């Protein structure tokens, strides 16, 4: 698509298929309900707006969050719950602060959430990568890192991984919790999509006797909206004094209005209702993506073949396909999608992956978008003189 077409004739353009966005569509939030909660928050928390509140978060909201955590088999005390100005702030503070184990190095899955990698790079941290595939991670390699490489913490997204879309099994999560204790390595469990879980028995790592070495992190950006800037974490007792100090020095306190709005939203029952709606909506979309992909794309090309929810899927291409060229070709045909290059450490061998997000699509767009991807891949395949297969796992 030319610049002239894109910017001067928007009315003539067909609606784009957005496989790139990771934020909810504005239409997914009932604006009137949010305005009511905001007005109520202004009324109830008026006095707090004119002062600095507890850096750890409003005690009343922390109590509501405990009820939410308990549904995931996480049972913290009020002192263990911290409220942050978004999950990114929590990750930034955790990456930079010392831990009780006195170890300096950080272990991350490859690929992983780009925001964590950006934080680690900004802080000039020593970071080690461990490969994560559709089948999980190599346990021998993980244990070797835990045992020999002075790992402060291991950052993991066990549920509906970004960008792979995969989840660890119950056995995997139990094993991680056990290894963390044995080798005195902390785990940051980024459970950002817990609300989208369709399996009632899928507990987090923290539930597997991991309370002493697991930091359990929850975000509200995907189920509600990123602009709320609220996240929460359950912190082991040994980390509480350190986290209290570092949170205080970071921002003095998290926005009272945002906290108050979330508290009212939760107490009214609107949060549970909205979360259930989003879970059903995204579940149907990811289910449709799986069905369409199995029908239109080569067999087993998606990492999410075993996933029952979440927002992301990863498409792995052969080395003969230039992913940037493919992204450009798809853009010209009205499909926006991202490579995962920014989700790998610069020192780690990158997989040739595209990330597919279903958060801003509907079923018709998913079908059309996958059909266009299949067509472009076929064109690229036949233009490749070597005629190598264009998918592999």
Cα–Cα distance between 372 and 218 in angstroms, integer?
35
Tens digits of residue pLDDT in 300-331: 677 766 667 899 999 989 888 899 999 999 99
Place 64 in a pLDDT band, splitting at 50, 70 and 90.
very high
Tens digits of residue pLDDT in 160-196: 999 999 999 999 999 999 999 999 999 999 999 999 9
pLDDT at 2 over 90: no
Portion of the chain with pLDDT greater than 70, in percent: 91
Output the pLDDT for position 339: 96
Distance between alpha carbon 161 and the CA centroid of its chain, in Å?
7
Distance between alpha carbon 9 and the CA centroid of its chain, in Å?
35
Output the average pLDDT for the chain.
89
Residues 126, 275 contacting (CB under 8 angstroms)? no
Select from 367, 307, 365, 369 the least CA-distant residue to 337.
369
Cα–Cα distance between 3 and 57 in angstroms, integer?
47
Select from 391, 348, 322, 393 the least CA-distant residue to 111.
348
Output the pLDDT for position 43: 80
Portion of the chain with pLDDT greater than 90, in percent: 70
Average pLDDT of span 246-257 = 90
pLDDT at 39 over 90: no
Give me the torsion for CA of 27, 28, 32, 33, rounded to 10°. Answer: 180
Residue predicted with more confidence, 228 or 337: 337
User: What is the value of pTM for the model shown?
Assistant: 0.91
Residue predicted with more confidence, 226 or 262: 262
Place 10 in a pLDDT band, splitting at 50, 70 and 90.
very low
Tens digits of residue pLDDT in 371-391: 999 999 988 877 765 444 444
Treating both helix axes as pointing N-terminal to C-terminal, what angle do 256-267 and 31-44 enclose, rounded to 10 degrees?
120
Output the pLDDT for position 13: 57
pLDDT at 122 over 70: yes
Output the pLDDT for position 15: 86
Q: What are the Cα distances from residue 128, in Å, to 107, 150, 336? A: 5, 11, 31
Question: In angstroms, how far apart are the furthest CA atoms of the chain?
Answer: 71
Distance between alpha carbon 262 and the CA centroid of its chain, in Å?
20
Average pLDDT of span 232-239 = 97
Place 155 in a pLDDT band, splitting at 50, 70 and 90.
very high
Domains of the chain: 3-28+272-383 (3.90.1150.10), 31-268 (3.40.640.10)
Place 223 in a pLDDT band, splitting at 50, 70 and 90.
confident
């Amino acid at each position: 698509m030319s610049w002239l077409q894109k910017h001067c004739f928007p009315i003539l353009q067909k609606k784009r298929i957005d496989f790139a966005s990771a934020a909810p569509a504005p239409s997914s939030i009932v604006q009137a309900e949010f305005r009511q909660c905001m007005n109520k928050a202004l009324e109830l928390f008026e006095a707090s707006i004119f002062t600095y509140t507890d850096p750890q978060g409003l005690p009343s909201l922390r109590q509501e969050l405990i009820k939410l955590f308990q549904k995931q088999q996480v049972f913290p005390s009020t002192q263990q719950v911290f409220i942050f100005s978004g999950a990114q702030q929590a990750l930034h503070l955790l990456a930079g602060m010392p831990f009780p184990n006195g170890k300096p190095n950080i272990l991350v899955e490859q690929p992983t959430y780009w925001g964590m990698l950006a934080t680690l790079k900004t802080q000039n941290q020593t970071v080690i990568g461990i490969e994560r595939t559709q089948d999980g991670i190599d346990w021998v390699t993980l244990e070797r890192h835990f045992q020999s490489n002075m790992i402060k913490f291991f950052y993991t997204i066990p549920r509906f991984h970004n960008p792979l879309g995969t989840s660890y099994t119950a056995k995997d999560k139990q094993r991680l919790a056990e290894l963390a204790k044995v080798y005195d390595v902390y785990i940051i469990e980024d459970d950002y999509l817990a609300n989208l879980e369709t399996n009632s028995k899928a507990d987090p790592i923290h539930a597997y006797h991991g309370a002493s070495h697991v930091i359990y992190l929850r975000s509200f950006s995907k189920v509600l909206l990123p602009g709320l800037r609220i996240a929460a974490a359950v912190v082991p007792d040994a980390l509480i004094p350190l986290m209290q100090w570092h949170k205080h020095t970071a921002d003095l306190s998290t926005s009272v209005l945002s906290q108050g709005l979330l508290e009212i939203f939760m107490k009214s029952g609107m949060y549970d209702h909205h979360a259930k709606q989003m879970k059903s909506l995204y579940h149907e979309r990811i289910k449709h993506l799986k069905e369409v992909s199995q029908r239109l794309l080569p067999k087993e090309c998606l990492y999410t073949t075993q996933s029952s929810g979440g927002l992301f899927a990863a498409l792995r291409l052969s080395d003969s396909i230039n992913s940037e060229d493919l992204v450009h070709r798809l853009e010209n045909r009205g499909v926006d999608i991202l490579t995962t290059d920014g989700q790998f450490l610069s020192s780690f061998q990158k997989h040739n992956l595209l990330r597919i997000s279903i958060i801003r699509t509907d079923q018709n767009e998913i079908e059309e978008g996958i059909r266009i991807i299949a067509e472009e891949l076929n064109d690229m395949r036949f233009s490749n003189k070597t005629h190598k297969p264009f998918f592999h796992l």
